[in-house]
Chain A
Amino acid sequence: MKRNVALSDHYKAFFENEMDGIFIADKEGKIIEVNRSGCKLLGFSKKEIIGKSGSKLARTHVNNKEASQEFQRKGFWFGEVEVERADGSVIDTELWARRDKASGNTYIILRNITERKRTQRELQKLTLKFEEQARTLQAILSSTTNHIYVVNRKGEYEYVNKAVSDAIGKPINEIIGMTGKNLGFPNEFNETIGGLRQKIFETGKSYRAETWFPTQEGERFFEFVLNPIKDKKGTIVSVVKTATDITDRKLLEKKKDEFLGIASHELKTPLTSIKGYTQILERKFKKAEDEESLHHIIRVESQLNRLTTLVSDLLDVSRIDTGKMVLRREEFPIVELIDDIVHDFEYMSYSHEFILQIIDNAYVGADKYRIGQVLVNLIANAIKYSPQADKIIITVDTDKENVIVGVKDFGIGIDQRAQKKIFERFYQMNFENGEKFSGLGLGLFISSEIIERHGGEMWVESKKGKGSTFYFSLPIIYKRKEMNRIN
C-alpha cells in the first residue's frame, strides 16, 4: 500500500510509542495512518483500519452532526466521545482533531479516559453520599434541643446548631466567627467555659462544667461537656461543646435538698428528746440498782441508736448524691481513733471480744467523724454477720503510702458474686436459708464513698462460711518514730 506520508525514523518511533491513539485521515475521511495505540484502542488490526472511513470504523456516541459541522467550519474539534470498539464494548475517550490546510489531511488523537471517567463517576457518587450524610447530620443537629458549638483556638464559633441560635435569638450566620465576648455572653460564662476550652488545647482531655446561661426564655442552668476535635494526625483543631439544659433537674435537686433538710430536722428533734429522757431514766435505774429496768432501758437506747443511724444514713446518701458531703480534715494517728471506737464497742457488746493487732501506726489527714463512722459500720457489720462467733480482730498496718485497717470476723462470709456488689447502694445479701438481716443496704456504700473521698480504697476478702475481712486504706500524712511504741 502506498503511503502518502513519509515519516523519519525519529518521528516514527515517537508515533508508534505514543500512548494515545493517533490517526491520520485523508480528505475523504479514510484512515491512511494509525499507530499501535490507535489499533489497541479500537481493537482492530492496522490492516483493518487503513483505508476505512473513521466514522464507519468506530461508532461514536457523540452528537455527530454538530461536532462535524463545527469541525467543517473551524477545521478543529476537541471533546469527549464514547467509542464502540471492535468487540462491541464502549470506552470513554477524549478526541482531538485538526485539519491540515496544506494537505487536507486530518490528524486525530484519541485518548482513552475510561478509567478517569470511572473515578470521576465514583467521586460524584461519593460526593452525593457525603452531601446526603451532611444533610442528615444537619437535620439531627438542628432537631436536638442540646446546644452544640464548635469553637476554634481563638474562641471563635466555627459552627453552632439551631438550638444555640434559638436560645440567644440570633441567626446562625451572625454567630459564626464571633466569640462569647463579642456576643455579650456573661463574663463568668466566658471565663469558666473559655478556660476549659484553652485547657483542652493543652491537655486534649474532655471536661464538664455547670453554669447559668442567659437565653430568650431567661436564665437557664446548663451542663456543658467539652471535647477536642482532632485532625488525622491527632492535632487538636477545635473544640466541640454540647450544653444540656438541666434547670429543671437543678430545681428538683434543690427542692429535694430542702425537703431532706426539713425531714432531717423533724426526725432528729423527737429523737433528741427520746434519747435524753432515755439516758435520764438509765441513770435513775442505775442509781436505784433496778437491774431489770436498766436492762430494758439499755435495749431502748440501743434501738434508738439504730434508728438514729438509719436516719443519718439516708441523709448521707442524699449528701453523697448531691456532692454535698464536706470533709473536715484534721491530722491524727489512726490508732487513736480505732482505740476509742473499739472501746465503745467493748462497753456495748456482750457477745464478742475485740482483738487489736497494731503492726504499724501513722498520722492521717482525715475527717475524724467520717472515718469513725466507717469503723463503726465495719465493726457493727462484723458483729451482725458473725452471731455464732466470739471474736473480732482489728488490724492496723502500713505500706509505703497508706495506712491499712482490717476488720476480720469469723461469721457467715460472703460468696464471690456478692463480694462484687456489696459496696453498691441498697445491696442486701440473700441467704440460701432465707434468713434475712435487717438494714437499708446503705452502710457499706456510704463507707466506701467516704474512704474514696479521702483518696483511699475499700475492699473485702471473704470465704463463705469462714468469715470476712473488710479493709480500707488511707493516705499517710506522716509517721513519728515513737509511734511504733504505741503497740
Chain B
Amino acid sequence: MKKILVVDDDRDILEVIQIILEDQGYDVHITPDGNIVERKIKEFSPDLILLDIWLAGIDGQDIAARLKKQNETKEIPIVMISAVNKSDQIAQNAGVEDFLSKPFDMDDLISIVAKYIH
C-alpha cells in the first residue's frame, strides 16, 4: 500500500484529506506539527508528502527546501497545499514537485496524488 504523509496545522483539513485518500486505498499519516516532519518521514517512509505552507510556528517552504536538500529525503515527491496567494511561486522556490491551491475539489486532490504515486 502506497504511503502518504500529510502535514497541515488545520485538524479538519487533515481529517478531510485522510478520509478522501484512505478511501482511494492509500495509507495516510497525518501531523499538524511541522517540527516533527523529519522524524515522521524516518518512521513512516512515505511515497508522497502533502505539505501546507503556513504552519503554526514554522514555514512549510523552509521544511520543503530542507527536505529537497537532504539525500535521504530529496527523492520523495512533495505537493504543497496552501491557501496562500502565489503558492505556485512559493512551491517553485522551494523546489517541490507540485502545488494544490485551497480550497480544492476532491477530484483535484485525488488526481494530483495519483500523478506522483504510480
Chain A residues engaging chain B, CB cutoff 8 angstroms:
260-261, 264-265, 267-269, 271-277, 279-280, 283, 308, 315, 319, 326, 328
Contact A276–B20 (Cβ < 8 Å):
yes
Instruction: Give Cα A268–Cα B83 distance, bound, in whole angstroms.
Output: 6
Contact A273–B16 (Cβ < 8 Å):
yes
* Interface size of B in residues (CB-CB distance below 8 Å): 22
Contact B103–A268 (Cβ < 8 Å):
yes
Which one of B84, B86, B102 lies within 8 Å of A271 (CB-CB)?
B102
Contact B103–A264 (Cβ < 8 Å):
no
| B51-76 contact mask (Cβ, 8 Å, vs A): 1 or 0 | 00010000000000000000000000
Contact A261–B85 (Cβ < 8 Å):
yes
Instruction: Give Cα A276–Cα B105 distance, bound, in whole angstroms.
Output: 7
Chain A to chain B contacts (Cβ below 8 Å), 22 pairs: A260-B85, A261-B85, A265-B54, A265-B83, A267-B83, A268-B83, A271-B102, A272-B10, A272-B83, A272-B103, A273-B10, A273-B12, A273-B16, A275-B105, A276-B13, A276-B16, A276-B19, A277-B12, A277-B16, A279-B105, A280-B106, A326-B86
Within 8 A of A (CB), among B3-45: 10, 12-13, 15-17, 19-20, 23
Instruction: Give Cα A277–Cα B104 distance, bound, in whole angstroms.
Output: 12
Inter-chain contacts of A275 with B (CB < 8 A): 103-105
Contact B19–A280 (Cβ < 8 Å):
yes
Instruction: Give Cα A260–Cα B86 distance, bound, in whole angstroms.
Output: 12
Q: How far is the CB of B5 from chain A (nearest CB, A)?
A: 18
Which one of B16, B89, B102, B106 lies within 8 Å of A268 (CB-CB)?
B102
Name the residue on A nearest B17 (C-beta). A276
Inter-chain contacts of B19 with A (CB < 8 A): 276, 280
Which one of B13, B54, B84, B85 lies within 8 Å of A272 (CB-CB)?
B13
Which one of B16, B20, B83 lies within 8 Å of A264 (CB-CB)?
B83
Q: How far is the CB of A27 from chain B (nearest CB, A)?
A: 107
Inter-chain contacts of A277 with B (CB < 8 A): 12, 16
Inter-chain contacts of B20 with A (CB < 8 A): 276, 279-280
Q: How far is the CB of A322 from chain B (nearest CB, A)?
A: 11
Contact A276–B106 (Cβ < 8 Å):
yes
Which one of A265, A273, A326 lies within 8 Å of B84 (CB-CB)?
A265
Contact B88–A272 (Cβ < 8 Å):
no
Q: How far is the CB of A315 from chain B (nearest CB, A)?
A: 7
Q: How far is the CB of B34 from chain A (nearest CB, A)?
A: 15
Q: Give the most central of A264, A265, A273, A283: most B CB within 10 Å.
A: A273
Inter-chain contacts of A269 with B (CB < 8 A): 10, 13, 83, 102
Instruction: Give Cα A396–Cα B105 distance, bound, in whole angstroms.
Output: 29
Q: How far is the CB of B90 from chain A (nearest CB, A)?
A: 12
Known: A272-B104, A276-B16, A315-B85. 13 other contacts (CB 8 A): A261-B84, A264-B85, A265-B84, A268-B102, A272-B10, A273-B12, A274-B103, A275-B104, A277-B12, A279-B106, A280-B19, A283-B106, A308-B103
Inter-chain contacts of A260 with B (CB < 8 A): 85
Instruction: Give Cα A295–Cα B5 distance, bound, in whole angstroms.
Output: 34
Contact A280–B84 (Cβ < 8 Å):
no
Instruction: Give Cα A277–Cα B20 distance, bound, in whole angstroms.
Output: 9
Instruction: Give Cα A276–Cα B19 distance, bound, in whole angstroms.
Output: 9
Q: How far is the CB of B61 from chain A (nearest CB, A)?
A: 14
Contact B105–A272 (Cβ < 8 Å):
no
Within 8 A of A (CB), among B83-118: 83-86, 88-89, 102-106
